Structure 1
Amino acid sequence: MTQAQKILKQYWNYDAFRSLQEEVINSVLEGNDTLALMPTGGGKSICFQVPALMNDGICIVVSPLIALMKDQVNNLQKKGIKAIALLGGIHNEEIIDLLDNCQFGNYKFLYISPERLQTDWILERIKNLPVNLIAVDEAHCVSQWGHDFRPAYLKISVLKDFFPKTPFLALTATATQKVQDDIILQLNFKNTKTFKKSFARENLAYMVFKTEDKYHLMEQIFQKNPQPSIVYVTNRKSCIDISNQLNSLGFTATYYHGGLNISDKENNMNRWMNEEAKIIVATNAFGMGIDKPNVKTVIHLHLPNNIENYYQEAGRAGRNGEKSFGVIITNPSDIIHAETQFLSVLPDKNFLKLVYKKLNNYFQIAYGEGIDEQFQFNLSQFCQKYGLPALRTFNTLQFLDRQGVISLSQEFNESISIQFIISSKETLRYCSLNTNDEEIITNILRTYPGIYELMTPVNLTLISKKSGVSEEQVNRVLRKMHEREVIELITRTNDSIVTFNEIREDELTINRISKHLENQNKQKTEQLQAVLDYIQNETECKSKLLLNYFGESSAENCGICSFCINTKNKSADGNILKSKIIELLKKEPLSSRDLIKITRYTKDDVIFALQELLEEDKITINTNNTYTLS
């Protein structure tokens, strides 16, 4: 057993690596800059976690996904592996403490967002770390040709200057050949080795069904395939409505979207994972880190906005190797809806400028200030206050997020503001009577000195870290103090957290990032067109279409997609129709119109059958345009 296999067994309890994992790990251990394309569920994190644990020093992991960073850090810590995430909203003093821990505390992993690498003093501190590997997750974000370009990713190449002998590992689930080449160029890779897991999924049947009644067809699919399934939709309301409808039809269904609080997310997820609910209806907020091998069917009831997302979402079916289905159910109105949903709500420069200014005003951020400030945020309330269209505003905030101006974490939460309504002397007396709460209360008073005079928002995460307790425990203490009339407490419901990564500069900020806006809008238009081409194409194998999109050619049709099945059926029907025509012509000559009327087949089917019979010399056509046997 190799050292890598021993570590895999020790920490993950796996006996063997999955396809490509060992090859990627060996490449990294040899010191090569490595690009790994591994579809969703391929175990990308193992590829940097194992080699990092084999060597002295710390591995830097660059990722734009806050929730994924939190999840991976928690999982590593549960295994007894020391890991830290440098997220937005952390003040400089705390960052210094965390980086000190990385330098002197024998930590093995530092997860960091690409925006943090734009801060010079943080880069200077990172320069002094004993780095053994730099992993770049979601590496397609470095390319302007990718489906999620983030300019902050371009700064990663600076780490090459600091650590010229340290191997880089770039990881992504989906990237065209153009994007792969750009990743290698932008990250300044040397001695590059590329590993690609084929995008082909031989057990996954890609289906496109056109129907006027989507719900009836979905019901038929689930009756035929009652195993665990996912239904993807584009909005939260549809999650709830469709889940309720499926339950009323006798199925067991639940739902998942970014607006649920953490306990509801976990509860609904667990119901589906444990198969108390066989179907989960979800937005694209669902899926990250999900590894349920026996998913039979993934249905897209609304059109996805790009092929990359569709491939990843459909790919959550059939990971156990058994036949499974990735289905798009569409009708003629979907094209108009998709153009409205995705294209007409893209922001232009003027709207971008408007939203950015309103966002700063909303949180009372002065010009030249705001960096690292973090706020609870409710999109609906923000849009109502300024009379802004919700969907276009959300797209604008997402663009600001991708450009690194803000970080938008879409998590349902409660914001809490408090004010002490007893004197400081009485507060000390309260602490002496409630010694278990004293550490939390003391940290609140130190962090928010004006809390006796003003209603003050409290960052539960920060207080819990300073006090060494859970956020839930801090919450409990605050509610107890409120009940005992020690504090006034106000809670508000929010669906996001906004962190400002830069100081407010209005025109300078917008002029700098707006050059990317036109490219983004053009890219999104082209990506949607690729989806429309995919669903409208009725002359090619669906699997081949997807492979071609990712630059992978296939000579053979898959044999199981909707196109291949239809082709087989048509061929069988065609032979039946030809036999019927021959039997009819044995009795008398008939015109094509007669044959259409008698057989009740479509005009196209009858004409095609007649042409084949003529080519086979089984029939002839007379001068009066009637057909007879040869």
Structure 2
Amino acid sequence: MNKALEILEKYWKHSEFRHPQEEIIASVLDGKDTFALMPTGGGKSICFQIPAMTQEGICLVISPLIALMKDQVQNLQHKGIKAIALTGGIPQNEIIDLLDNCQFGNYKFLYLSPERLQNDWILERIKNLPINLIAIDEAHCVSQWGHDFRPAYLKIVQLKEFFPKVPFLALTASATLRVKEDIILQLQLDNPNIYTKSFYRDNIAYMVFETEDKLHLLQQILTKNPEPSIIYVTNRKSCSETVHHLESFGFTATFYHGGLPFKEKESHMKLWMEEKVQVMVATNAFGMGIDKGNVKTIIHLHLPQNLENYYQETGRAGRNGEKAFAVLLNNPSDVFHAESQFLGILPDKAFLNLVFIKLCSYFQIAYGEGIDERFAFNLNQFCSKYNFPTLKTYNALQFLDRQGIITLSQEFSEKVSIQFIIPSKEVIRYMSLHSNDEEIMLTILRTYPGIYDMQTAFNPTLIAKKSNTNEKEVLSLLQKLKEKQVIDLMAKNNDATITFNEVREDERTINRVSKHLESQNKLKTEQLQAVLYYSKENKTCKHKLLMRYFGEAIKEDCGICSYCITKSSKKQNPENVSDKIIALLKIQDFNSRDIQKLTKLPEDDVIFALQNLLENNTISIKSNNLYSLQ
């Protein structure tokens, strides 16, 4: 291990390994298949990068995350270590050159996605490389019980035939006991050494608060904790809206989501990393490779899709060892929204079959034909033609892609983005002078309320449909508005492409893969139920609930989560609290915030009493979040 330590000091500037990095590296150097379960921030990449550097040859790294591959390759190159990644969009002749470099250019790391192994000619080239280690990152993707199952991962095991003496290292940051066992089975790990780092983070206080006024509570939390924070939301629109609210409260904030241009992502990230703004508001697209030690607070404004993602996202707090907070805010309507957002967009077998048949018809592919044919593809136009819901259709296409039936290029950012650059009163004046343009412009303003504040992704197909015109007229108007300097217009030619990987067989094709769809839908439902249970269960330590989900038992309560704090504080007699609330509601309807102010009782006591009164049908909650006596 002396050489491993020398490499760690030379390239990573650390004098010692973190547990269990040293044990994992020793296992790999001993030629043993190894399984490593290390939570976010545990330093997984070191576990394959160091042993690969100590030996002759090249390390093959299989990862599904293009952004992470690029990030790791860039970091290695900055250290003077030769590494390349075979990501999407690279022409075949360039791939040949890159693989030649791997074979003859003394490269140490080759990153690729599991789908690349499905190309026979690439596999043939890899078989001739001097591979010294095969690292499988995000290994939970190999399991049908994993939260991001990808069938292409099942092909990795064939590398065992070509490299029988090369150790496999499977790495993941989130796997239940069932997933761990399935990974070992599917990758055929030979009597592997298993290393698991505890998921327990004793410096993170997991807090769950139920409130009708999330923004008010958000303001209180960020005022009390002015250090760097991340707020996670579930959609792009909420990013800009939340930033707007925070700025109105006097906080500095920026946002990050998958639809931002690369330069904006970089600049927004830099603002937050350099602490020129306190808060980063983001979707789950944010976090890849983020290692900022002093993040004090992670706040989830909406319910997450699963506890695996939730744990990874909250794990970005308190990496410096200082006390930090992971806060989940919810209200009674969140359950409906979460089920609609995460489960309502899952395609079933019938919808999947319909999408596949229409996709073949769309490109005029006859039954028994279509293999290796490639087409430009616009998701919005396809959905508009067949009146399909966009997100559900995208999920169906993504499933077909993961099953290898089609290859779908991931280029679904909108083709067009616009921003009005004159005041709203001038826009109204323009419409009064150009009545022919009024209907389309009104439709744009109603559909995109934030279009004065920022460049906004724009769907011309949707606007054409809503305004009873056609897409050509909409795009023509945009060009005219740009020339008259009414709007700033950005148009990009980034339609997706679809490649058919097998012949069209309709139901036979879908029947073959439908069992995977059913199991994935069932898993996603179970995962959301686990989130709902975690958010609603108020008689158990939150840390215990999380650890139990990941198959880890802890005996003692953490002492710092929302449950433990409530338990240790002096509780009001629930009947007295309920009586005070009922007395108030006899006067008029109130929301929980006003009830708390008027009763001068602790918020937890008020919420607990309100929940009991709701369960007993003593009170009800109206659509405007006011409580009323039944």
State the identity as a percent: 63
Paired residue secondary structure (1:557):
coil
1:181 and 2:175 aligned: no
> Where in structure 2 are the equivalents of 1:462-541 lying within 5 Å?
492-493=491-492, 497-498=496-497, 500=499, 502-503=501-502, 505=504, 507=506, 509-541=509-541
Q: Determine the structure 1 residue equivalent to 2:395.
A: 395
Pairwise CA distance, 1:347: 0.3
In the alignment, residue 535 of structure 1 is paired with which amino acid? Answer: S
Instruction: Give, in whole Å, the separation in 2 of the partners of 1:545 and 1:397.
Output: 35
The alignment's TM-score, normalised by the length of structure 2, stands at: 0.75
Is the CA contact 1:135–1:170 (under 8 Å) kept in the aligned structure 2? yes
- Summarize deviations over 1:25-58 as a string: whole Å, max 9, x none: 1110011111111111111111111111111111
Taking a change above 3 Å as real, the CA distance of residues 368 and 62 of structure 1, as seen in their structure-2 partners, is: farther
Taking a change above 3 Å as real, the CA distance of residues 365 and 605 of structure 1, as seen in their structure-2 partners, is: closer
Q: Determine the structure 2 residue equivalent to 1:563.
A: 563
> Which segment drifts farther, 123-132 or 308-317?
123-132
> Where in structure 2 are the equivalents of 1:595-610 lying within 5 Å?
none
Is the CA contact 1:89–1:372 (under 8 Å) kept in the aligned structure 2? no
> Where in structure 2 are the equivalents of 1:605-620 lying within 5 Å?
none
Pairwise CA distance, 1:381: 4.8
Pairwise CA distance, 1:360: 6.0
Is the CA contact 2:206–2:325 (under 8 Å) kept in the aligned structure 1? yes
> Which segment drifts farther, 33-42 or 121-130?
121-130
Pairwise CA distance, 1:217: 0.7
Instruction: Give, in whole Å, the separation in 1 of the partners of 2:233 and 2:105.
Output: 45
Instruction: Give, in whole Å, the separation in 2 of the partners of 1:604 and 1:140.
Output: 38
Unaligned runs of 5+ in 2: 417-488, 577-598, 610-630
Q: Determine the structure 2 residue equivalent to 1:108.
A: 108
Taking a change above 3 Å as real, the CA distance of residues 32 and 215 of structure 1, as seen in their structure-2 partners, is: same
Unaligned runs of 5+ in 1: 416-489, 578-597, 607-630
Instruction: Give, in whole Å, the separation in 2 of the partners of 1:290 and 1:154.
Output: 29
Pairwise CA distance, 1:12: 2.0
Instruction: Give the number of the structure whose alpha-carbon radius of gyration is greater.
Output: 1
Instruction: Give, in whole Å, the separation in 1 of the partners of 2:123 and 2:500.
Output: 15
Q: Determine the structure 2 residue equivalent to 1:320.
A: 320
Q: Determine the structure 2 residue equivalent to 1:51.
A: 51
Instruction: Give, in whole Å, the separation in 1 of the partners of 2:562 and 2:136.
Output: 37
Is the CA contact 1:61–1:110 (under 8 Å) kept in the aligned structure 2? yes
Pairwise CA distance, 1:515: 2.2
In the alignment, residue 224 of structure 2 is paired with which amino acid? Answer: K
- Summarize deviations over 1:129-175 as a string: whole Å, max 9, x none: 11100000000111111111111111111111111111110000000
Paired residue secondary structure (1:409):
coil
Pairwise CA distance, 1:277: 1.1
Taking a change above 3 Å as real, the CA distance of residues 235 and 9 of structure 1, as seen in their structure-2 partners, is: same
Is the CA contact 1:538–1:563 (under 8 Å) kept in the aligned structure 2? yes
Instruction: Give, in whole Å, the separation in 2 of the partners of 1:265 and 1:318.
Output: 23
Instruction: Give, in whole Å, the separation in 2 of the partners of 1:186 and 1:605.
Output: 46
Q: Determine the structure 2 residue equivalent to 1:409.
A: 410
Taking a change above 3 Å as real, the CA distance of residues 29 and 120 of structure 1, as seen in their structure-2 partners, is: same
Taking a change above 3 Å as real, the CA distance of residues 495 and 9 of structure 1, as seen in their structure-2 partners, is: farther
- Summarize deviations over 1:431-475 as a string: whole Å, max 9, x none: xxxxxxxxxxxxxxxxxxxxxxxxxxxxxxxxxxxxxxxxxxxxx
Instruction: Give, in whole Å, the separation in 1 of the partners of 2:362 and 2:303.
Output: 34
> Where in structure 2 are the equivalents of 1:51-90 lying within 5 Å?
51-90=51-90
Pairwise CA distance, 1:413: 8.3
Pairwise CA distance, 1:567: 0.4
Is the CA contact 2:360–2:504 (under 8 Å) kept in the aligned structure 1? no
Pairwise CA distance, 1:365: 7.5
The alignment's TM-score, normalised by the length of structure 1, stands at: 0.75
Pairwise CA distance, 1:201: 0.4
Q: Determine the structure 2 residue equivalent to 1:208.
A: 208
Is the CA contact 2:365–2:504 (under 8 Å) kept in the aligned structure 1? no
Instruction: Give, in whole Å, the separation in 1 of the partners of 2:282 and 2:512.
Output: 36
Q: How well do the aligned residues superpose, as a CA RMSD in angstroms? A: 3.0
In the alignment, residue 558 of structure 2 is paired with which amino acid? Answer: C
Taking a change above 3 Å as real, the CA distance of residues 165 and 83 of structure 1, as seen in their structure-2 partners, is: same
Instruction: Give, in whole Å, the separation in 2 of the partners of 1:239 and 1:605.
Output: 30
In the alignment, residue 181 of structure 1 is paired with which amino acid? Answer: E
> Where in structure 2 are the equivalents of 1:380-459 lying within 5 Å?
380-404=380-404, 405-409=406-410, 412=413
Taking a change above 3 Å as real, the CA distance of residues 412 and 526 of structure 1, as seen in their structure-2 partners, is: same
> Where in structure 2 are the equivalents of 1:568-607 lying within 5 Å?
568-570=568-570, 573=572
Paired residue secondary structure (1:41):
coil
Instruction: Give, in whole Å, the separation in 1 of the partners of 2:182 and 2:415.
Output: 41
Is the CA contact 1:89–1:499 (under 8 Å) kept in the aligned structure 2? no
Paired residue secondary structure (2:308):
helix
> Where in structure 2 are the equivalents of 1:237-252 lying within 5 Å?
237-252=237-252
In the alignment, residue 159 of structure 1 is paired with which amino acid? Answer: L
Matched residue count? 509
Instruction: Give, in whole Å, the separation in 2 of the partners of 1:534 and 1:495.
Output: 41
Is the CA contact 1:353–1:506 (under 8 Å) kept in the aligned structure 2? no
Is the CA contact 1:89–1:374 (under 8 Å) kept in the aligned structure 2? no
Instruction: Give, in whole Å, the separation in 1 of the partners of 2:327 and 2:556.
Output: 21
Instruction: Give, in whole Å, the separation in 1 of the partners of 2:546 and 2:503.
Output: 43
Q: Determine the structure 2 residue equivalent to 1:544.
A: 544
Is the CA contact 1:36–1:196 (under 8 Å) kept in the aligned structure 2? yes
